[in-house]
Structure 1
């Protein structure tokens, strides 16, 4: 089935059915984002990362239904106003969950970077030569503090 045929099939769905599909996709997306947020708060980064494929698929499904609803807005307003109102409320719930999820992701990223920076600093200090310079102090080389450690900032 072509993309145009899939879009036409969505647009041809009865108003209540289209809204129901969108609500189900929305609820599943909010649920997986809540699971991810909970895992991240608990420090289970690997388990949270395993949810990424599901989250991406559910987000794509929801966007597909949301676009169909936008295209059919006039018809849906006339035929299923209550379902459309439920969907709007659910969308607000998604926005709230996304904001919380992004906040927790940013915190996890910052904590991870801080830990890796501290480890790099400690490794650099351990590998540093402990000799006295001309002023009678232990020489320091700030460039050597992170030798051998790389931080991937793409989280």
Structure 2
């Protein structure tokens, strides 16, 4: 079924059912993002990474149903205004969760880059000759030596 067909099918649902589908997709996405954020806060990068595919699928599902809601907005406001208000509040919760998630992801990325640079500098520092010139000075390299590193992911 194409995306257009899925969208058309969703738009034909009654107002309450469409809102319930949107709310379910929204809550599932908020939940997986909260779990990912929790893992990242705890430094459990692998566990957070394991949620990537699920998060991507839930985001795609939410976008599809949100598009149907958007295209049916007037009908939904008239037929199920209380459900539309619940969706609006849920969307605000999603925006808050996304902001927190992005902040934690940016922090994890920055920490990872810093660790890798520190390791590379340390590896390069070991390559500096440990001798002195005729005046007793330690030779200084003009630029640090950065060698490639490998990571054993077997454990």
Corresponding residue for residue 55 of structure 1: 55
Q: Distance in 1 between matches of 2:32 and 2:52?
A: 9
Equivalent runs, 1:128-147 vs 2, <5 Å = 128-133=128-133, 136-147=136-147
Task: Tell me if the contact between 2:7 and 2:65 (Cα under 8 Å) persists in the aligned partners.
Answer: no
Q: Distance in 2 between matches of 1:14 and 1:146?
A: 62
Q: TM-score, normalised by structure 1?
A: 0.90
User: How far did 1:3 drift?
Assistant: 3.1
Equivalent runs, 1:1-155 vs 2, <5 Å = 1-133=1-133, 136-149=136-149
Task: Tell me if the contact between 2:11 and 2:72 (Cα under 8 Å) persists in the aligned partners.
Answer: yes
User: How far did 1:4 drift?
Assistant: 2.8
Question: What per-residue deviation string (whole Å, max 9, x for no partner) do you get for residues 25-50 of structure 1?
Answer: 00000000000000001101111001
**Which protein has the bigger helix share?**
1
Q: TM-score, normalised by structure 2?
A: 0.90
Q: Distance in 1 between matches of 2:133 and 2:80?
A: 80
Alpha-carbon RMSD across the aligned residues, in angstroms, is 1.6
Task: Tell me if the contact between 1:122 and 1:145 (Cα under 8 Å) persists in the aligned partners.
Answer: no
Unaligned runs of 5+ in 1: 151-155
Once structures 1 and 2 are overlaid, which stretch shifts more, 138-147 or 40-49?
138-147
- Across the two proteins, how many residue pairs are aligned to each other? 150
